[in-house]
């Protein structure tokens, strides 16, 4: 498997992952979550092998992470900017747009915050999308952390991350999505409750909702993990030929 770094003046903005047999295959734009493993997480490792077998390539943005008190902070606006840079590179080098978007957790917020990301896309899979990002921060990081972010001075990365989360009407943006969308969510997710996916499913016209019973936000059970991967691949094969 090859991993080509895409750089700008600010460093690496994305990685293009592909196999020897997929150097010119369709592009899957993979928007990762904001966990500590980010693009290196097992989500993208698992998908990379499946896509490579189908002659497809993965474009994975590298969100600019800011470490504050040992905690990674990703302002949504920074993530959107990096995604736009990666897409501009793709259009300039290859004259194309991604065929598929896969958005995981925080990556779901990125896709909803910047509808232009979906231009030319044939279908999208959203895995546990954080449609209410401020609430996800509360559940994952706690009330004290949000108080610190709110008290940070204007321009501070923590203040920007909170303001970004509060400013976007992601459910409103979702109403304008016209491509087929598969929403996969764990019924036992306590960080991004499945009701967020249910609301998205209600407002996105061409959506399907798969709720996995007993599944947490991280798909810790290997059976749940396997079902998520299989459901996503089946959906992609249906709409991207």
Please name each of the domains of the chain with its CATH number.
2-233 (3.40.50.1820)
From first CA to last CA, the distance across the chain in angstroms is 22
Alpha-carbon span 152 to 48, nearest angstrom: 39
Q: Tell me which of 109 and 4 has the higher pLDDT.
A: 109
More confident residue, 218 or 211: 211
Residue 38 pLDDT more than 70? no
Q: Which of 28-37, 105-114, 171-180, 210-219 has the lowest mean pLDDT?
A: 28-37
- The better pLDDT of the pair 239, 43 is held by 239
Q: Please report the DSSP string for 61-98 in residue order.
A: E----EEETTEEE--HHHHHHHHHHHHHHHHHHHS---
pLDDT score at 22: 65
Average pLDDT for residues 32-49, to the nearest whole number?
66
Name the band, by pLDDT with cuts 50, 70 and 90, for residue 36.
very low
Is the confidence at residue 226, as pLDDT, over 80?
A: yes
> What is the predicted pLDDT for the residue at 42?
63
Determine the average pLDDT of the residues in 135-141. Answer: 92
Report residue 35's pLDDT band, with 50, 70 and 90 as the boundaries: low
Cβ-Cβ contacts under 8 Å for 80 (sequence gap 6 or more): 110, 113, 114, 117
Neighbouring CB atoms inside 10 A of 171's CB total 16
Give the C-alpha separation, 236 to 94, whole Å: 22
Residue % of the chain over a pLDDT of 90: 66
Q: What local confidence, expressed as pLDDT, does residue 53 receive?
A: 85
Stronger pLDDT, 6 or 194, i.e. the higher one: 194
Res 39 pLDDT > 50: no
Q: Does the reported pTM lie above 0.85?
A: yes
CA distance 107 to 49: 20
pLDDT at 176: 93
């Amino acid at each position: 498997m090859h991993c080509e770094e895409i750089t700008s003046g600010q460093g690496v903005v994305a990685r293009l992952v592909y196999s020897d047999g997929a150097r010119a295959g369709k592009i899957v734009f993979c928007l990762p979550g904001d966990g500590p493993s980010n693009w290196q997480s097992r989500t993208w490792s698992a998908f990379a092998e499946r896509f490579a077998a189908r002659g497809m390539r993965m474009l994975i943005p590298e969100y600019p992470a800011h470490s504050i008190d040992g905690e990674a902070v990703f302002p949504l606006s920074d993530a959107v900017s990096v995604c736009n840079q990666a897409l501009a590179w793709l259009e300039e080098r290859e004259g194309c747009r991604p065929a598929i978007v896969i958005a995981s957790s925080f990556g779901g917020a990125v896709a909803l915050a910047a509808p232009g990301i979906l231009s030319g896309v044939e279908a999208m899979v959203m895995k546990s999308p954080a449609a209410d990002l401020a609430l996800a921060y509360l559940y994952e990081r706690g009330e004290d952390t949000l108080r610190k972010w709110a008290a940070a001075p204007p321009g501070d990365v923590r203040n920007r991350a909170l303001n970004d989360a509060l400013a976007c009407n992601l459910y409103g943006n979702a109403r304008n999505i016209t491509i087929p969308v598969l929403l996969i969510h764990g019924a036992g997710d306590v960080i991004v409750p499945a009701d967020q996916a249910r609301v998205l499913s209600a407002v996105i016209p061409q959506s399907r909702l798969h709720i996995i019973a007993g599944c947490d936000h991280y798909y810790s059970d290997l059976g749940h993990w396997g079902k998520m991967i299989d459901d996503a691949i089946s959906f992609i094969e249906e709409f991207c030929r």
